[in-house]
DNA sequence: AGGAGCTTGTGCATTCGATCACGAAGTCGG
DNA sequence: CCGACTTCGTGATCGAATGCACAAGCTCCT
């Protein structure tokens, strides 16, 4: 998916992209079992909770290191700590959200972030009517101030929830402010300098993928 | 990811899952170029617009059939029509959205849907304060009426944007109402009967994946 | 009409991810 | 202390997906 795998001396082990995408799922499942005061969990059980294959769980976790005990399973707390560390959730990342339409507000209010190592540190919008308003306990700043405000607040991760035609300009501003990871919800193709991670989520795309399988299922009866 | 590839006599060619996931991206790019009155597009250009490899574009499109002209490229209108047909966007799918928190409202107002073969036909929420209110020109119905209302309105695609603890119950109701494709935004693992497609989007997961690469990049300086 | 120049369609090699199957390593009961 | 049992870790295998390279086929110019 492009995450320029900059061969940065790779320090420890290199974790496959597919595995990285599953770590947050294991993480969530582990938080759930930890809440129920369960102390150990087997790969079988974890697989069930995460909706994947048990062998896959074991292989995925083996990339992080050897944290399981044969005959017993994984220590929930220890594994949770390890995944947190690997996902960087111990860092308290400062996040900026640009574009406070419905989606941006949904993200700003999202409870899950705070609990998972993310802190919404800045909100931006171009609409004068929105600037100065409080959303999720934080004041909305003008989009023109992204470079100044985001860099001042140490923002490292930017979320773009703007209309597509301004998304590239916003991305440029974010990068200029020192942001090095961008999550893009705008239906636009962004280009960023090397060294900046970029992920895209497109709600309409997900729906269209569903529609494809849907229309394959229902017999395409004649007559539109 | 599990779209039970029910060997339903698959009529035409079988299209690889990875290709299906890219079709909506090509679709969007094609809509853009069509708006600029361009009549033909090369695989190279389309690849650039979609952010992928040109050979991949050609191979992907070849699964749909032979719609390109060597030496020229693809006829934009024809290709658009073909992808629309394959994605089932010519069907005007009735969509129900359950849960009208910020995210649900964002989806209800999403302009892209109408233009792409989807019609929001029903809105549901369990909160009495929200029931009866108009959102995006449609009245919010009580969650208890999902089975009756959704089936009456011919809903085939359901979007779940509720808190996780009610997501499974909502999914059950949707399935009972005849919905056979579900897009789940709730951070919960759903189980649905065979024959029902299920896709999951988790905003926190996407962010955590970014955080992983982020924390790999920035040197983990000592002293947290 | 014929050849130069593009661009598609696709066989092939390679890389990546999923799954199986089994040895290694631990616990527990007697 | 030992053997039965459980569960992890991982080599090996298989299949999907990617990307290359090139033949096939179309257009346009001369």
Nearest nucleotide, CA A45 to C1': D7
CATH fold for domain B93-206:
Rossmann fold (3.40.50)
Answer yes or no: is A202 CB < 7 A from strand C.
Answer: no
pLDDT 10s digits, A15-57? 999 999 999 999 999 999 999 999 999 999 999 999 999 999 9
Contact between chains at B8 and A217 (C-beta distance less than 8 A)? yes
Report d(CA A11, CA B216) in Å as an integer: 9
CATH (residue range A17-87): 1.10.10.10
Nearest nucleotide, CA A54 to C1': C19
Residue A177: CA atoms inside 13 Å, Cβ hemisphere, count?
A: 29
Mean pLDDT of the region A196-213: 94
In the prediction, which pLDDT does A218 show?
Answer: 62
Closest CA–CA distance from residue A145 to any residue of chain B (Å):
23
Classify A40 as helix, strand or coil: strand
Q: Is pLDDT larger for residue A13 or for residue A74?
A: A74
Q: How confident is the model at residue A59 (pLDDT cuts 50, 70, 90)?
A: very high
pLDDT beyond 70 at A223: no
| Percent of chain B whose pLDDT exceeds 70 | 92
Contact between chains at B211 and A91 (C-beta distance less than 8 A)? yes
Q: Hey, which residues 129-168 in chain B have their CB within 8 Å of chain A?
A: 156-157, 159
Backbone torsions φ then ψ of A188, nearest 5 degrees: -150, 150
Q: Count of CB atoms within 10 A of residue A63's CB? A: 15
Report d(CA A52, CA A25) in Å as an integer: 10
In the prediction, which pLDDT does B1 show?
Answer: 41
Q: Is pLDDT larger for residue A118 or for residue A217?
A: A118
Q: How confident is the model at residue B218 (pLDDT cuts 50, 70, 90)?
A: low
Q: Of residues 22 to 51 in chain B, which lie within 7 A of strand C by their beta carbon?
A: 41-44
Nearest chain A residue to B83 by CA distance is A212
Answer yes or no: is B72 CB < 7 A from strand C.
Answer: yes
User: In the numeric block, which tokens belong to residue A217?
Assistant: 């299922």
In the prediction, which pLDDT does A111 show?
Answer: 75
pLDDT beyond 90 at A4: no
| Percent of chain B whose pLDDT exceeds 90 | 81
pLDDT 10s digits, A144-190? 999 999 999 999 999 999 999 999 999 999 999 999 999 999 999 99
Helices A54-64 and A76-87, axial angle in degrees (round to 10)? 60
Q: Hey, which residues 9-38 in chain B have their CB within 8 Å of chain A?
A: 10-11, 20-21, 23-25, 27-28
Q: Is the dihedral of CA B109, A125, A166, A177 positive or negative?
A: negative
Nearest nucleotide, CA A62 to C1': D9
Q: Which helix (H) or strand (E) holds B93?
A: strand B93-98
Pick from B166, B169, B175, B174: nearest CA to B193: B175
Interface contacts A/B by beta carbons within 8 Å: 197
Nearest nucleotide, CA A55 to C1': C19
Q: Which residue is nearest to nucleotide C24 (CA to C1')?
A: A70
Q: Is pLDDT larger for residue B221 or for residue B95?
A: B95
Mean pLDDT of the region A82-89: 94
Contact residues on chain A for B56, CB-CB shorter than 8 A = none
pLDDT 10s digits, B81-128? 999 999 999 989 999 999 999 999 999 988 777 778 899 999 999 999
Q: How confident is the model at residue A1 (pLDDT cuts 50, 70, 90)?
A: very low
User: In the numeric block, which tokens belong to residue B85?
Assistant: 């047909």
pLDDT beyond 80 at A220: no
- Length of chain B counted residue by residue: 224
Report d(CA A28, CA A22) in Å as an integer: 10
CA/C1' separation B70–D24 (Å): 9
Report d(CA B72, CA B30) in Å as an integer: 16
Kindly state the DSSP code that residue A126 receives in the 8-state scheme. S
CB B147 within 8 A of CB B172: no
Mean pLDDT of the region B140-158: 98
In the prediction, which pLDDT does A2 show?
Answer: 39
Kindly state the DSSP code that residue A68 receives in the 8-state scheme. E
Pick from B197, B160, B114, B190: nearest CA to A211: B197
Q: How confident is the model at residue A12 (pLDDT cuts 50, 70, 90)?
A: low
* CATH 3.40.50.720-classified regions of chain A: 93-206
**Mean pLDDT in chain B?**
90
Classify A14 as helix, strand or coil: coil
Q: Is the dihedral of CA B165, A108, B121, A223 positive or negative?
A: negative
Report d(CA B17, CA B39) in Å as an integer: 29
B214, B217, B223, B224 alpha-carbon torsion, rounded to 10°: 0
* CATH 1.10.10.10-classified regions of chain A: 17-87
Q: Which helix (H) or strand (E) holds B150?
A: helix B146-152
Q: How confident is the model at residue A217 (pLDDT cuts 50, 70, 90)?
A: confident
Contact between chains at A218 and B180 (C-beta distance less than 8 A)? yes
């Amino acid at each position: 998916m492009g995450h320029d795998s900059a061969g940065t001396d790779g320090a420890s082990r290199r974790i496959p992209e597919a595995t990285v995408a599953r770590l947050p799922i294991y993480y969530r499942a582990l938080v759930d079992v930890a809440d129920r005061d369960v102390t150990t969990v087997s790969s079988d059980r974890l697989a069930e909770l995460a909706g994947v294959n048990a062998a896959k769980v074991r292989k995925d976790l083996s990339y992080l290191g050897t944290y399981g005990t044969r005959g017993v399973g994984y220590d929930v707390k220890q594994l949770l700590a390890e995944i947190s560390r690997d996902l960087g959730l111990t860092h308290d990342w400062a996040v900026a959200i640009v574009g406070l339409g419905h989606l941006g507000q949904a993200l700003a209010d999202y409870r899950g972030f705070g609990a998972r190592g993310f802190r919404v540190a800045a909100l931006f919008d171009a609409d004068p009517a929105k600037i100065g308003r409080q959303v999720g306990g934080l004041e909305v700043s003008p989009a023109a101030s992204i470079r100044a405000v985001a860099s001042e607040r140490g923002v490292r991760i930017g979320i773009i929830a703007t209309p597509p035609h301004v998304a590239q300009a916003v991305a440029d501003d974010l990068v200029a402010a020192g942001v090095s990871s961008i999550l893009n919800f705008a239906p636009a193709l962004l280009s960023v300098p090397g060294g900046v991670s970029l992920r895209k989520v497109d709600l309409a795309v997900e729906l269209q993928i569903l529609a494809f399988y849907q229309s394959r299922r229902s017999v395409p009866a004649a007559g539109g």
